[in-house]
Amino acid sequence: MRLIDVIVYNSQREEFIDFLNLHSSEYTQYSFFNVDEDKIKFEILTEDNYASLLKSIELFQPLRITILPVEASLPQSTRKEKTSFSSSFYSITKEELVEDVKNASDFSVNFLILLIISSIIAGIGILKNNVAILIGAMVIAPFLGPAIALSLGTTVGDSDLLKRSLKTTFLATFIAFSVSVLWGLLFDVSNISFDPVISFQDIALAIACGIAGVFSLLGNQSSSLVGVTVAAALLPPLFKSGMLMGGGFYKDSVNSLLLYFGNIISLNLSGVITFYLAGIKPSKWWEKERAQKQTVISVLIWSFLLVVLAVIIIVVQQP
């Protein structure tokens, strides 16, 4: 459930009440009170699928909209909410989505600590060839936030989010790679399992991971398991590339690094397309136009890189 606080001018009160009565099937109840002589606040209690109602409220151009999570409300509503196919998984607004992804993609002290710890654990798992340890590294590796942020920033035309995600992705790649090179210099990596030559199955895996990551966020569901899946597509090849580079296995290192960048391309392409098809767009028409241009350009760039990658795969697989 959500509590939507809407502040409008007193002159809009009757019009807004009529609007709420017209959309009574989209919320549980509402109340209102005066904030001061000129403003009035409406408190609207809704179920999780409230994106359509929020878009309609925005047409009034209210002074402020605040969305608050609600743990429980008594007495419980007996109204059965009508949901469409799209709303069955779309239970979070664009604004909430952007804020969540921004927080997850910030290069903070916590992000850095989790990245270094996951890199250390991944190194131990690879050296010991222990899948359980490697999965543990994937659980805490903070790769989901930046990976999804890049796709979301493109779709909604948020240049600040794009810059944050690019910066975090670059720094995370550089740090994890540097730590893994250090592992390769300090330990014997000749016995680790090398990555196979990149194939179309790897691209399909990364595309599936990108779609799963987007759906978990749109459904406002726990992203822990999806984060493990995304990390599975990014952490092992990146870390193996660094370890093999440090150990002097340059050809195999390049192969693993190619796999890593191929997964990034596929993740972002599938993420952009999924966000766009789910209807995640800016509210204002001029922002929509800019975001649509960015989305088209992004899809073309990622698609071109994917085609280049496919050509490389075909050439490499030739006997």
Query: 3-state secondary structure string, the chain?
Result: CEEEEEEEEHHHHHHHHHHHHHCHHHCCEEEEEECCCCEEEEEEEECCCCHHHHHHHHCCCCCEEEEEECCCCCCCCCCCCCCCCHHHCCCCCHHHHHHHHHHHHCCCHHHHHHHHHHHHHHHHHHHHCCHHHHHHHHHHCCCHHHHHHHHHHHHHCCHHHHHHHHHHHHHHHHHHHHHHHHHHHHCCCCCCCCCCCCCHHHHHHHHHHHHHHHHHHHCCCCCHHHHHHHHHHHHHHHHHHHHHHHHCCHHHHHHHHHHHHHHHHHHHHHHHHHHHHCCCCCCCHHHHHHHHHHHHHHHHHHHHHHHHHHHHHHHHHCC
C-alpha span between 16 and 196 (Å, rounded): 61
Domain ranges of the chain: 2-88, 94-317
User: What's phi and psi for 82, nearest 5 deg?
Assistant: -85, 125
Q: What pLDDT is attached to residue 185? A: 92
CA 219 – CA 88 distance, rounded (Å)? 8
Long-range Cβ contact pairs of 247-251 (< 8 A, separation 24 or more): 247/184, 247/185, 247/188, 247/189, 247/190, 249/189, 249/190, 249/194
Residue with tokens 């017209």: 22
- Whether domain 2-88 has CATH 3.30.70.3100: the reply is yes
* Burial bucket for residue 163 (CB in 10 Å: 0-12, 13-18, 19+): exposed
What does the pLDDT read at residue 152? 84
pLDDT tens by residue, 263-310: 888 888 888 888 888 777 766 655 667 777 778 888 888 888 888 877
| Whole-number Cα distances in Å, 23 to 46, 53, 81 | 11, 8, 12
Whole-number pLDDT of residue 86:
46
Q: Is 54 left (phi over 0), alpha (psi -120 to 50) or beta?
A: alpha
Could you tell me the maximum CA-CA distance found in the chain, to the nearest angstrom? 80
Amino acid at 24: S
Q: Whole-angstrom Cα distance, residue 111 to residue 142? A: 7
pLDDT, position 85: 42
Q: Which residue has the tokens 């969305």?
A: 67
Contact 269, 303 (CB under 8 A): yes
- How many angstroms separate the CA atoms of 4 and 210, rounded? 30
| Contact between residue 281 and residue 157 where contact means Cβ atoms under 8 Å apart | no
d(CA 200, CA 309): 9
What pLDDT shows up at residue 101? Answer: 79
Residues of the chain short of pLDDT 70, as ranges, are 48, 73-93, 194-197, 219-229, 282-288, 316-319
